[in-house]
Amino acid sequence: MTTTLDNVEAQRTSVQTFDLKLGGVRELNKTLHHATDGDTFAVDHPGGKHSIAVGVNAEVDIEINGHVGYYAAGMNQGGRITINGNAGVGVAENMMSGAVHVTGDASQSAGATAHGGLLVIDGNASARCGISMKGIDIVVGGNIGHMSAFMAQAGRLVVCGDAGEALGDSIYEARLYVKGTAASLGADCIAKEMREEHLAELGELLRAAGRDDDPADFTRYGSARTLYNFHVDNSSAY
């Protein structure tokens, strides 16, 4: 089942608000770590601070009103986290489940090593988006930078703009969908046929991210499977 931005229906009784001009990130995260399913939080004046909302482990709603620094929403498990601004390096890094929505742009390594859940970036993502992804779904409304999906093992990466150089270098079994053009493909990454099941899968992911792009406009990329076992003829590609 594809995670969506709208399928976590919590019973909201009150919103707990944190102002990071007045309190620290450690105090915020400590509170979030003791939250229970259905709790709702608002975080004001994040001011680009690092590690905001890291390690959430409950089905809670968190709205962060402003830009965040490194590793925001890292290791998320079940939380639905909205960042109303831009995100620094490693947003949603090692996420397990839940949903993270960045309304602006994201820096390098968005969704790195993440095992599950949905990461939506409305703007652009920088280099190494989805590096070593292990099951996460990532939907980027704009462009992504170079070396994205490097060693991507599982999951889906959807790019509604263009992709930078070396897309999917040393990719395993992740599936990549790009609406625009890829500057170049990395080792063992090739364009693949877009069959009906892929159109359906992509359509579901786009709807989950709140987008109305036509799946037929995308190209699918994946592994040629030539690097699974060492062969001397492929030595230059390792």
103-107, 133-137, 180-184, 223-227: lowest mean pLDDT where? Answer: 223-227
How sure is the predictor about 3, in pLDDT bands with cuts at 50, 70 and 90? low
Whole-number Å distance between alpha carbons of 187 and 226: 9
Whole-number Å distance between alpha carbons of 126 and 173: 22
Task: For residue 33, give the 3-state DSSP assignment.
Answer: helix
Whole-number Å distance between alpha carbons of 39 and 55: 15
Whole-number Å distance between alpha carbons of 186 and 238: 11
Q: Return the bridge partners of 99, or none.
A: 80, 118
Whole-number Å distance between alpha carbons of 19 and 47: 10
Q: Is-contact 83 68, C-beta < 8 A?
A: yes
14-18, 164-168, 227-231: lowest mean pLDDT where? Answer: 227-231
How sure is the predictor about 235, in pLDDT bands with cuts at 50, 70 and 90? low
Taking only the tens place, the pLDDT of each residue in 121-180 is 999 999 999 999 999 999 999 999 999 999 999 999 999 999 999 999 999 999 999 999
190 DSSP assignment: E
Q: Which residues contact 43 (CB under 8 A, 6 or more apart)?
A: 17, 18, 20, 28, 52, 53, 62, 63, 64, 65
Q: What are phi and psi of 208, to 5 degrees?
A: -60, -30
Task: Give pLDDT, residue 227.
Answer: 76
